[in-house]
């Protein structure tokens, strides 16, 4: 039986604290993000003060322990953050934060030694040190086992050589979690390790910032590791277990991206609804045309279905169930859905939707990568198919 | 020194309010509700007093349905110490709220009560004044600056002619205007801590108050859409129109 006397939130998944978090993040986005986002798009990165302000409000440590300044919430807390940041209409801002909180720093937290965690996690949660995760390479993306970067053991150090590309936060991060082959002769799945490299290491070079189709307020880099020496204690987890760590953390990354997509869809539909209700053509608002309002109603239904799938996958994860199949569905479905939604929202904006001055134009560019990054649709569908 | 703050659960300021098809009121089904923005300012002011060592305890009070406890939780997450929810499902008019607050003041004996100057749902702008009258306490309404002293409070008020400063002997009532302060965010650690702060549940009957409405809403209607304006090409043309068409100068 549902306890109807408890304060009702409108979802079986969220507590009152989740809703309070949602309200605070939404207010932050309205006041501290939307008025400045265009400038960040111009300059190509999010100012560090903004990330630190989010840190001081506890938004960067939702799941982490109190000893590091975190709030020990569950996967659904991450979903709230990602959905609300997705609603900002600035995908580049959202991904800057979410890579830090839910795709990169998780490698330090889940596998780092107690000493490494004590050293770095408080600053990570405070937004004083920003983290990047470096898996993708010029010759290996979806096929993670195919990476070529190596980390050779030399005395008490590892020496990293190779290059990484498409690395979010790659230009401005302070900490890089790098996948490298520590034993190139081992079976591919046993050959990868994760290593922590600090900015300032003379062997780490930001080769170039990348010029992107969307996510323009996010800094993305190609990185070169040239005899990059790190102490052996910078290994994140056991040697040879990196591939499994990456696969595990992908689950969280994909849930996060799914929630971000849903936030983007919701914001796009709201913007478009406002537009078609005020824009007149042929003597009446566009909303009076069935072709338009039925299509928007249909999309609203698809988005709601996606939202509930995201919540359900997150809930399974929070309860400790394996949710690989559901999470893969989330990534495949939401990454495509956000593009379908943006296509129609641009369409219903008419010529304005093609103009840089409209938010929907930017949002449609930001959406494209959601079907590629963090597990491309085709690869996600393979993961689902394997489990059918 | 104890400060009582009144917080009301209202339709969120970002929501476009819609009139119910039968004209009986505003459609609140599935609509996002939040703390009245003027009350957020009241909570913020109380917290600043506490941070400055001029207040020792902050009690947040809300009159409303069970869900109004969420509004109290927000105040607790911002920094209030405890809450009192006076549960009532139907509409409560300003006079009834003022009577309930008087009952709470009698029980709690605060030195200061801070309220929003109005709530953004019905814009009544009455509760603070009525409470002052019922208690026979001095009032400083529409505050844009509040300075606490040992046994008095100076309130700078926004009035039509500019600013007026009044000095009130404590205990007193203050109602907030928009420019008093900028309310803080509730940080996530504080949201989690607020879970453990107590909220007392009461009913209007506990204070002997009958909340039956004295007013009847006859009809609610959307405001007429604004007509498009006109552009004039010179100041002279503008003055001419204001004089001869609008008749305002
Ligand atoms: C803006 C941006 C930010 C990024 N940030 C990061 C980051 O921070 N860290 C990081 O490590 N990486 C990052 N990436 C990389 C991202 O994860 C990869 O782009 C993604 O995994 C796809 O890899 P790829 O680009 O090498 O494409 P490929 O793997 O070459 O895939 C090309 C196409 O082939 C399809 N394909 C691949 N394998 C199969 C298969 N088995 N069956 C059917 N089709 C298949 C794919 O679906 C895709 O359509 C980012 C990418 C972008 C664009
Ligand atoms: C890059 C660019 C170059 C252009 N160049 C020129 C040019 O050189 N000269 C020129 O005159 N114009 C030009 N245009 C304007 C272009 O022709 C219009 O954008 C187009 O006709 C759509 O009109 P609109 O933008 O006002 O959209 P709207 O008419 O407002 O339409 C918005 C949406 O509503 C839909 N809609 C409208 N009516 C109905 C209906 N009855 N039933 C169902 N759906 C409906 C539309 O299909 C569209 O999806 C250009 C536009 C662009 C983007």
CATH classification of the domain holding A144: 2.40.110.10
**Least Cα separation, residue A32 to chain B (angstroms):** 11
Q: Give the range of the structural domain holding residue A208, as residue numbers without chain letter.
A: 131-239
Question: Do A284 and A197 belong to one domain?
Answer: no
Instruction: Indicate if A176 and A199 belong to the same structural domain.
Output: yes
Residues A328, A378, single domain; the answer is yes
Would an 8 Å CB–CB cutoff place A277 in contact with chain B? no
Whether A253 is catalytic is yes
Distance CA A255, CA B89 (A): 38
Substitution target from A23, A27, A32 for chain B, most B beta carbons within 10 A: A23
**Predicted pLDDT at A126:** 98
Handedness of CA A108, A113, A117, A120 (dihedral sign): negative
Distance CA A197, CA A151 (A): 12
Last residue of a domain, one of A239, A264, A281: A239
Q: Is residue A10 part of a domain?
A: no
> How high is the mean pLDDT of chain A?
96
Shortest-distance ligand to the CA of residue A351:
2
A217 and A183 in a single domain? The answer is yes
**pLDDT for A5 beyond 50:** no
| Pair (A255, A341) in one structural domain | yes
Q: How far is it, in rounded angstroms, from Cα B35 to Cα B102? A: 21
β strands within chain A, DSSP E: 131-134, 150-154, 157-168, 175-181, 192-198, 204-209, 220-231, 235-236, 280-281, 284-285
Above pLDDT 70, what percent of chain A? 98
Classify residue A20: in a domain, yes or no.
Answer: yes
CB-based contact, A21 to chain B, within 8 Å: yes
Same domain, A116 and A139: no
Our count of domains for chain A comes to: 3
Tell me, yes or no, whether A5 lies in a domain.
no
ipTM of the complex: 0.90
Last residue within a domain, chosen from A239, A266, A290: A239
Q: Do B70 and A20 touch (CB under 8 A)?
A: yes
A374 lines ligand 1 (CB under 6 A): yes
Say yes or no: A250 and A381 in one domain. Answer: yes
Residue closest by Cα to atom 42 of ligand 2: A289
CATH code: domain of residue A248? 1.20.140.10
Residue A139 domain flag: yes
Strand partners, A168: A220
Same domain as A265, residue A378:
yes
Rounded Cα gap, residues B71 and B35, in angstroms? 6
**Chain A residues near residue B34 by CB distance under 8 angstroms:** 23
Residue where one domain finishes, among candidates A95, A126, A157: A126
Residue A294 within a domain: yes
pLDDT in tens, A129-143: 999 999 999 999 999
pLDDT per residue as tens, chain B (249 positions): 999 999 999 999 888 888 998 988 899 888 889 999 999 999 999 999 999 999 999 999 999 999 999 999 999 999 999 999 999 998 899 999 999 999 999 999 999 999 999 999 999 999 999 999 999 999 999 999 999 998 999 999 989 889 999 999 999 999 999 999 999 999 999 999 999 999 999 999 999 999 999 999 899 998 887 777 888 999 999 999 999 988 888
In a domain, A8, yes or no: no
Q: Which long-range contacts (CB under 8 A, 24 or more apart) does A36-40 make?
A: A37/A88, A37/A89, A37/A90, A37/A93, A37/A217, A40/A90, A40/A92, A40/A93, A40/A217
CB contact at 8 A, B135 and B194: no
B70-96: pLDDT as tens digits: 999 999 999 999 999 999 998 899 999
Asked if A159 and A272 sit in the same domain, the reply is: no
- pTM of the model as a whole: 0.92
Q: Give the number of whichever ligand sits closest to the CA of residue A294.
A: 2
Assigned domain for A2 exists: no
| A309-328 per-position pLDDT tens digit | 999 999 999 999 999 999 99
Same domain, A277 and A321: yes
Question: Is the pLDDT assigned to residue A1 strictly greater than 60?
Answer: no
Q: Are residue A256 and residue A304 in the same domain, yes or no?
A: yes
- Please state whether the peptide bond connecting residue B171 to the residue before it is cis, i.e. omega within 30 degrees of 0: yes
A279 and A222 share one domain: no
Q: What is the CATH number of the domain that holds A93?
A: 1.10.540.10
Q: Is residue A99 part of a domain?
A: yes
Q: Kindly tell me if the per-residue pLDDT of A2 is higher than 60.
A: no
**Percentage of chain A lying above the pLDDT 90 cut:** 97
Q: Is-contact B112 B89, C-beta < 8 A? A: no
Nearest CA in chain B to A8: B67
Instruction: Name the 3-class secondary structure at B2.
Output: strand
């Amino acid at each position: 039986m549902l306890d109807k006397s408890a304060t009702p939130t409108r979802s079986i998944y969220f507590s009152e604290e989740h809703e309070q978090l949602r309200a605070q993040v939404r207010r932050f986005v309205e006041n501290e993000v939307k008025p400045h986002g265009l400038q960040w798009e111009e300059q190509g990165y999010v100012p560090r003060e903004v990330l630190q302000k989010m840190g001081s409000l506890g938004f960067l440590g939702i799941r982490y322990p109190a000893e590091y300044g975190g709030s020990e919430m569950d996967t659904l807390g991450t979903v709230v953050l990602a959905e609300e940041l997705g609603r900002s209409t600035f995908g580049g801002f959202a991904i800057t934060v979410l890579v830090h909180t839910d795709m990169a720093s998780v490698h330090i937290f889940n596998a780092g030694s107690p000493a490494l965690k004590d050293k770095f996690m408080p600053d990570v949660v405070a937004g004083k040190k920003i983290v990047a995760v470096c898996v993708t390479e010029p010759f290996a993306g979806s096929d993670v086992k195919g990476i070529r970067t190596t980390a050779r053991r030399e005395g008490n150090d590892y020496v990293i050589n190779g290059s990484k590309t498409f690395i979010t936060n790659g230009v401005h991060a302070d900490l890089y979690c790098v996948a490298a082959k520590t034993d190139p002769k081992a079976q591919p799945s046993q050959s990868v390790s994760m290593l922590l490299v600090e900015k300032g290491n003379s062997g780490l070079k930001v080769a170039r910032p990348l010029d992107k189709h969307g996510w323009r307020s996010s800094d993305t880099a190609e990185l070169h590791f040239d005899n990059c020496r790190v102490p052996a204690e910078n290994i994140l987890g056991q040697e040879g277990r990196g591939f499994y760590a990456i696969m595990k953390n992908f689950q969280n990354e994909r849930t996060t991206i799914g929630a971000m997509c849903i936030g983007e869809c919701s914001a796009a539909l709201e913007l478009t609804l406002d537009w078609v209700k005020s824009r007149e053509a042929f003597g009446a608002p566009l909303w009076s045309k069935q072709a338009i309002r039925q299509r928007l109603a249909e999309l609203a239904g698809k988005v709601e279905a996606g939202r509930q799938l995201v919540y359900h996958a997150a809930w399974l994860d929070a309860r400790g169930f394996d949710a690989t199949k559901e999470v893969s569905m989330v990534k495949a479905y939401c990454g495509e859905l956000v593009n379908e939604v943006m296509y129609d929202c641009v369409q219903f904006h008419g010529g304005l939707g093609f103009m840089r001055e409209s938010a929907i134009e930017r949002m449609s560019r930001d959406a494209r990568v959601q079907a590629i990054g963090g597990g491309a649709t085709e690869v996600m569908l393979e993961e689902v198919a394997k489990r059918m | 020194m104890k400060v009582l703050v009144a917080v009301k659960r209202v339709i969120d300021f970002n929501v476009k309010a819609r009139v119910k098809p039968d004209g009986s009121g505003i459609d609140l089904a599935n609509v996002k509700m939040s703390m009245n923005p003027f009350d957020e300012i009241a909570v913020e002011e109380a917290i600043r007093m506490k941070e400055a060592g001029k207040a020792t305890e902050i009690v947040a009070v809300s009159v409303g349905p069970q869900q109004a406890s969420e509004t109290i939780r927000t105040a607790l997450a911002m920094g209030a110490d405890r809450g009192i929810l006076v549960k009532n499902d139907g509409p409560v008019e300003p006079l009834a709220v003022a009577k309930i607050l008087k009952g709470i003041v009698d029980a709690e004996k605060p030195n200061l009560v801070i309220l929003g100057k109005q709530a953004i749902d019905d814009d009544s702008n009455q509760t603070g004044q009525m409470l002052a009258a019922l208690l026979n306490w001095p009032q400083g309404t529409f505050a844009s600056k509040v300075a606490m002293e040992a046994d008095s409070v100076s309130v700078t008020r926004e009035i039509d002619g500019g600013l007026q400063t009044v000095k009130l002997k404590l205990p007193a009532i203050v109602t907030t205007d928009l420019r008093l302060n900028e309310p803080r965010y509730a940080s996530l650690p504080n949201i989690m801590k607020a879970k453990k702060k107590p909220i007392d549940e009461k009913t209007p009957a506990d204070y002997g108050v009958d909340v039956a409405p004295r007013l009847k809403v006859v009809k609610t209607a959307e405001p007429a859409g604004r007509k498009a304006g006109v552009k004039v090409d010179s100041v002279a043309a503008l003055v001419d129109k204001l004089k001869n068409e609008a008749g305002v100068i």
